[in-house]
Structure 1
Amino acid sequence: MSRQIMIQPISAQNFAPFGDLIHTGGAPDKIINQGQCERFHDRAQLDFAEGRAGISLFNANPRALPYHLDMVERHPEGSQAFIPMTYQPFLVIVAEDHNGQPGRPQAFLTQPGQTVNYHRGTWHGVLTPLHGPGLFAVVDRIGAGDNLEEFWFDAPYEVVSG
């Protein structure tokens, strides 16, 4: 089995098994603020077992391609949305669950202005901006208990441009 993962363009359809692609595609749901603002309403399904939604800021170091993927993580108690605070694409790595372990990872590249919301329990790579600054607002579960599982691969994958 090849340990190389080709990056593919992200779309709402091909990302749906892992979460929500949040973007301004299609017609706005409403025009607000005296006709000066388009509202694209309720674009992600936040899902928390216990606790509450919180907004945190993450400032991640930019990464380069090829990217070596040796670990993925998941959050069994809540979904997690990553909202870039710059107009830059970022790398999204996800894997289906196979009996409590991640399957073969898939890599997607967002377009500037797109955001992702990982479903609760989705295996995903760490925050991977390809350009600096790597500043993101993150909406996720705030609450008691451990909400992080990590899985380290026996051999790393190499993520490359498609």
Structure 2
Amino acid sequence: MTHSLATHSLNPRAFAPFGDVLEIQGTPDKLINQGLCGRFHDRARLDFGAGGRAGISLFDAQPRALPYCLEMMERHPDGSQAFIPMHCEAFLVIVAQDDGGRPATPLAFVTNGAQGINFHRNIWHGVLTPLARPGRFAVIDRIGDTPNLQEYWFETPWQVQPPA
């Protein structure tokens, strides 16, 4: 038995309670490099907590398919976590508010292939879920000596459906 979960197109307004959508939209904040490069400035609220520092890692994740069985969510209480795709393929983003130390009802989004995301600190989210190869991402998150991962396993998994 599973719960059903619909997917939606990722957009900044719907995702705002959970983090930042990283994309080029509208007019650049300024032009640099002799006017040949538009800078879309400071698009994510990075937060690395006390005793940590920013790190950039590269991930190579195996692709998954929809429908997708969501059995577990995780969060990082001491730092934000940004995922920037190094390809032009969509990926699945699942988030949830906190409900007394466990995820509330999840929400599922599918990126357009050119969007990255930044989860704010302590936001419940699904694991990295590319929907096609290659599943390569630059990840900016907290590097530190203390644990920064909490997991929650659902008694009844969620079945994430393809977009309607």
TM-score category (smaller protein): over 0.9
TM-score of the two chains, using structure 1 as the length reference: 0.97
Once the two structures are superposed, the pairs formed by residues 37-48 of structure 1 within 5 Å of their partners are 37-48=37-48
Query: Equivalent residue of 1:13, what SS?
Result: helix
Query: What is the aligned length?
Result: 161
Letter in 2 for 1:14: A
Whole-Å Cα distance in 2 between the matches of residues 26 and 76 of structure 1?
Answer: 33
1:82-137 CA-partner distances (Å, limit 9, x unpaired)? 00000111100001101111001110011121110000000000000001010000
Equivalent position of 1:120 in the other structure: 121
Q: Alpha carbon RMSD of aligned pairs, Å?
A: 0.9
Whole-Å Cα distance in 1 between the matches of residues 29 and 131 of structure 2?
Answer: 31
Identity over aligned residues, as a percent? 58
Equivalent position of 2:131 in the other structure: 130
- Deviation of residue 161 (structure 1)? 1.3
Equivalent position of 1:63 in the other structure: 64
Whole-Å Cα distance in 1 between the matches of residues 89 and 110 of structure 2?
Answer: 10
Equivalent position of 1:105 in the other structure: 106
Equivalent position of 2:79 in the other structure: 78
Whole-Å Cα distance in 1 between the matches of residues 113 and 39 of structure 2?
Answer: 18
Whole-Å Cα distance in 2 between the matches of residues 155 and 98 of structure 1?
Answer: 16
Whole-Å Cα distance in 2 between the matches of residues 58 and 70 of structure 1?
Answer: 21
Structure 1: where are the runs of 5+ without partners?
none
- Deviation of residue 155 (structure 1)? 1.3
Letter in 2 for 1:109: V
Q: Which runs of 4+ in 1 moved over 2 A?
A: none
Letter in 1 for 2:133: G
Letter in 1 for 2:39: R
TM-score of the two chains, using structure 2 as the length reference: 0.96
Whole-Å Cα distance in 2 between the matches of residues 112 and 154 of structure 1?
Answer: 32
- Deviation of residue 35 (structure 1)? 1.6
